[in-house]
Amino acid sequence: MSELVVKDNALIQASYTLDLAEQRLILLAIIEARNSGQGITHDSLLRIHASNYAKQFGVNDKTAYTVVKDASKGLFDRYVTYHDKNPKNGKDRSFHCRWVDKIGVEPDSGIVYMRFTSDVVPLITRLESHFTSYEIAEVANLTSIYAIRLYELIIQWRDNGVTQRYKIDDLRQKLGVEPEQYKTMSNLKAKVLDRAINQINKHTDITVKYEQHKTGRTITAMSFTFKVKKAPEPIAKDDGFIKMTDSQVRTFSSKLARLPELGNNAPSTAGYDDFAKLIADDLKDADKQKKYHKHLAKLGFEVAKRKVK
């Protein structure tokens, strides 16, 4: 099952400040609720396993529980500011609300619990209006706290290839840049935008660049243009066995073990090294190797002069 994140655009456009682990915890909660069939309501007490967090984001198994526990505590104190229009008179409104109103831990099982507030639930689940969806694998390797937010802002415009113009102050708020941080434009570009865009271009399905818009000589707004990367071509026929050297098997089994989309195939008690050994055996087997072909292509493995027919 695909690991799909779905958010209402009102939440994508909202202003909030979260650290990397807190952002990831929210994404994982959305996915686990969807995949389990539980769904998300204000009565839903969502369970997030530390082991799943470790698999999705490449975090060490031994530290994952501490990360998700601390992230849940952080979320308990965070709030989001979102905007809508008064249905009676059409005037703009803004609201502040908490992300979660209940958290819990189950240390022996490596589980944290959390419940989204009644205000946030519709922003995650309401699909009758505009919404944004993407695979969690696209953001799993983003480590800048601003990169995930920028990616979400940009892919709302997937059909256009260019975003709206964001006023600088508005963009800062949407990315979660604190008022006292990176006050000069040069710092904002170097510490926030350039770093986030470099990660997005390297690790996601799009390539991005920004355009500066000036009033006089002052930069007052920015927009982003982007292109969706071409999917890698298959590296062998469906029934073709790829002969790999021992060194290649070791290297790529280790890389495959860390791909978020293969995480659910790992035994529940297996760490990365154990999972890599299982994959290494599969890569040497003509039948079992097939399921890894597209993932090998994604990792850049090339087979000379082999084409799909």
- Verify that 112 and 212 share a domain, yes or no: no
- Of 185, 203, 230, the residue at which a domain comes to its end is 230
Q: Which of 90-94, 147-151, 221-225, 248-252 has the lowest mean pLDDT?
A: 248-252
CB atoms within 10 A of CB 215: 8
Q: How confident is the model at residue 117 (pLDDT cuts 50, 70, 90)?
A: very high
Question: What domain count does the chain have?
Answer: 3
Most confident among 11-15, 74-78, 153-157 (mean pLDDT): 74-78
Q: How confident is the model at residue 208 (pLDDT cuts 50, 70, 90)?
A: very high
Q: Which of 140-144, 168-172, 233-237, 284-288 has the lowest mean pLDDT?
A: 233-237
What region, left, alpha or beta, does residue 123 occupy, with left being phi > 0 and alpha being psi -120 to 50 degrees? Answer: alpha
- Of 175, 200, 230, the residue at which a domain comes to its end is 230
Q: Is residue 187 within 8 Å of residue 178, measured between CB atoms?
A: no
Please provide residue 132's backbone torsions phi and psi, each rounded to the nearest 5 degrees.
Answer: -125, 135
Q: Could you give the angle at the alpha carbon of 56 between the alpha carbons of 13 and 285, nearest 5°? A: 140
Q: Where are the alpha helices (DSSP H) in the chain?
A: 9-12, 20-36, 50-57, 61-76, 121-125, 147-155, 168-175, 185-187, 194-203, 246-257, 272-283, 293-298
- Verify that 209 and 236 share a domain, yes or no: no
- Verify that 306 and 204 share a domain, yes or no: no
At 285 the pLDDT is 87
- Verify that 47 and 116 share a domain, yes or no: yes
- Of 97, 117, 138, the residue at which a domain comes to its end is 138
| pTM (2 d.p.) | 0.59
**pLDDT average, residue stretch 95-100:** 90
At 95 the pLDDT is 86
- Verify that 52 and 125 share a domain, yes or no: yes
- Verify that 238 and 222 share a domain, yes or no: no
| Average per-residue pLDDT for the chain | 83
At 309 the pLDDT is 46
- Verify that 297 and 196 share a domain, yes or no: no
- Verify that 3 and 134 share a domain, yes or no: yes
**pLDDT average, residue stretch 58-72:** 91
- Verify that 2 and 121 share a domain, yes or no: yes
- Verify that 243 and 130 share a domain, yes or no: no
CATH of the domain at 212: 1.10.10.10
Query: Following DSSP, what letter does each residue of 64-101 receive, concatenated?
Result: HHHHHHHHHHHHHT-EEEEEEE-TTT--EEEEEEESEE
Whole-angstrom distance, CA of residue 302 vs CA of residue 232: 11
Q: In the predicted model, is pLDDT for residue 286 greater than 50?
A: yes
Structure tokens at 135: 């695979």
- Verify that 171 and 194 share a domain, yes or no: yes
Q: How confident is the model at residue 160 (pLDDT cuts 50, 70, 90)?
A: confident
CA 191, distance to chain mean position in Å, is 20
Residues spanned by the domain of 253: 232-309
Q: What pLDDT, in 10s, does the model give residues 212-244?
A: 999 999 999 999 999 988 766 555 544 567 888
Whole-angstrom distance, CA of residue 65 vs CA of residue 69: 6
Cα distances (Å, whole numbers) of residue 82 to 5, 71, 137? 19, 22, 26
- Verify that 127 and 11 share a domain, yes or no: yes
Q: Please, what sign has the CA dihedral across residues 47, 52, 57, 62? A: positive
Q: Is residue 80 within 8 Å of residue 15, measured between CB atoms?
A: yes
**pLDDT average, residue stretch 264-274:** 73
